[in-house]
């Protein structure tokens, strides 16, 4: 009996010691607003340890948070016992809602050290962002990965819409070479398949008086296009010449190309498409053709012809459902993503859709967000 009592006493002491030790090593978390100049290196170090893409971090920081024409961004730092262990950020955008322009913030760069990657630190960062973003920021939005989506839902963001990726194959031979079963035969049949595929896509294509050409930059015609835009239903970020120049010409992360659709005398811009090239694919980040559906179709078919001339294998563009998605499908694009909730029926060639989340900080006198959002990849932070 005495032996059993001694054993229980010893076990109780060990349990108390363990509980006390765990309590003692539990860090004290605190979120502080960062000073964009003084805390620059601390934030970049956190990015380098925790973000998937770590190229050009210094240039990315200065471009996105210090040199944004719509204003400097905001960054928050999470500290554990006084040591920086995580961060999240907000980049500035202007958002058109009908005839009104308001300020929006795009949430980005949620990064937490590996030892602290559980729910509480991420929630603390997101709640700090929601509660202490600049008062002038009326709408917050983001398109996070699956982990970030869970945090956004937890803190009160609204799932606004799905963003799907659409793709169009231009040269099947590029993908035949990737197939283990067809790799040996691909060099022999690839050119034949490509020629047949090109002939099929060219069938019925009509000549057009509108002129599509690669442009060297953003001139006054882009402001004329934007200022003439009439869109009472959709929400869309401001796309004036100042923003486009900053977003696509000054961006240190990629080299973008500009395809413009012009009137026969080149005096007026009817629409534009901005893309970059990666792994033999042309990836569209922004597209605007607010006139007739024929303008949009002409711009898309011109992009396809340009990519073929450049030797590229496919086209890719992401957007919500709506008129743009419908035009893509009519141009031979196929939807390559499906909503996560129906992943059980997803084929191997499909990927999960992304979700656009929004959080409103509007007063009663401000306009509300429209039922639809004209979202393209250019609305993402980077």
Q: How many CA atoms lie within 13 A of 140 on its CB side?
A: 25
Q: CA separation (Å) from 112 to 30, 39, 45, 184? A: 13, 16, 11, 46
Domains in the chain: ranges and CATH: 28-156 (3.40.630.30), 164-352 (3.40.630.30)
CA pair distance 57, 63, nearest whole angstrom: 10
Per-residue pLDDT of the chain (382 residues; tens, 9 = 90+): 445 444 334 433 332 333 334 434 779 999 999 999 999 999 999 999 999 999 999 999 999 999 999 999 999 999 999 999 999 999 999 999 888 899 999 999 999 999 999 999 999 999 999 999 999 999 999 999 988 999 999 999 999 999 999 999 998 776 555 655 555 555 555 565 556 555 555 544 556 789 999 999 999 999 999 999 986 558 999 999 999 999 999 999 999 999 999 999 999 999 999 999 999 999 999 999 999 999 999 999 999 999 999 999 999 999 999 999 999 999 999 999 988 665 445 555 679 999 999 999 865 545 555 678 999 999 999 9
pLDDT, residue 4, reads: 45
CA pair distance 324, 233, nearest whole angstrom: 15
51-88: pLDDT as tens digits: 999 999 999 999 999 999 999 999 999 999 999 999 99
pLDDT, residue 116, reads: 96
Closest CA to 112 of 83, 72, 73: 83
Indicate the burial class of 76 (C-beta count within 10 angstroms; 0-12, 13-18, 19 or more): buried
Closest CA to 72 of 36, 31, 32, 108: 36
Q: Model-level pTM?
A: 0.85
pLDDT, residue 198, reads: 56
pLDDT, residue 11, reads: 35
Write the CB contacts of 150 (distance below 8 Å, at least 6 apart in sequence): none
Write the CB contacts of 84 (distance below 8 Å, at least 6 apart in sequence): 42, 45, 46, 77, 78
User: Integer distance in angstroms from the first to the last C-alpha of the chain?
Assistant: 70
Positive or negative, the Cα torsion across 319, 322, 324, 329? Answer: positive
Closest CA to 272 of 320, 326, 225, 319: 225
pLDDT, residue 325, reads: 97
Q: Are 237 and 102 in contact (CB under 8 A)?
A: no
């Amino acid at each position: 009996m005495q032996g059993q009592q001694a054993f229980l006493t010893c076990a109780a002491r060990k349990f108390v010691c363990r509980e006390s030790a765990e309590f003692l090593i539990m860090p004290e978390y605190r979120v502080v607003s960062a000073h964009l100049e003084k805390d620059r290196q601390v934030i970049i170090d956190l990015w380098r340890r925790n973000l998937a893409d770590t190229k050009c971090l210094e240039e990315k920081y200065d471009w996105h948070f210090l040199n944004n024409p719509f204003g400097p961004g905001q960054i928050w730092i999470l500290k554990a016992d006084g040591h920086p262990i995580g961060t999240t950020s907000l980049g500035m955008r202007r958002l058109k809602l009908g005839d009104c322009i308001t300020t929006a913030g795009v949430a980005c760069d949620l990064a937490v050290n590996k030892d602290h990657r559980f729910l509480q630190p991420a929630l603390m960062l997101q709640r700090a962002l929601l509660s202490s973003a600049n008062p002038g920021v009326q709408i917050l939005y983001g398109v996070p990965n699956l982990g970030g989506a869970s945090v956004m839902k937890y803190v009160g963001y609204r799932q606004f819409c799905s963003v799907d990726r659409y793709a169009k194959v231009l040269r099947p031979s590029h993908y035949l070479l990737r197939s283990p079963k067809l790799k040996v035969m691909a060099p022999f049949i690839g050119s034949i398949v490509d020629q047949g595929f090109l002939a099929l896509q060219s069938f019925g294509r009509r000549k057009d008086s509108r002129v599509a050409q690669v442009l060297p930059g953003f001139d006054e015609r882009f402001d004329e296009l934007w200022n003439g835009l009439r869109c009472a239903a959709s929400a869309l970020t401001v796309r004036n010449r100042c923003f486009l120049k900053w977003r696509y010409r000054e961006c240190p992360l990629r080299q973008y190309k500009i395809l413009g659709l012009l009137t026969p005398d080149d005096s007026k811009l009817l629409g534009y498409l901005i893309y970059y090239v990666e792994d033999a694919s042309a990836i569209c980040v922004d597209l605007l053709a607010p006139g007739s559906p024929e303008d949009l179709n002409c711009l898309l078919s011109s992009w396809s012809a340009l990519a073929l001339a450049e030797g590229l294998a496919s086209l890719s563009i992401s957007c919500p459902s709506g008129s743009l998605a419908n035009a893509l499908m009519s141009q031979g694009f196929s939807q390559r993503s499906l909503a996560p909730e129906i992943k059980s029926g997803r084929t191997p060639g499909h990927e999960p859709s992304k979700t656009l989340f929004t959080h409103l900080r509007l007063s009663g006198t401000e306009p509300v967000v429209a039922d639809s959002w004209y979202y393209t990849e250019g609305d993402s932070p980077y």
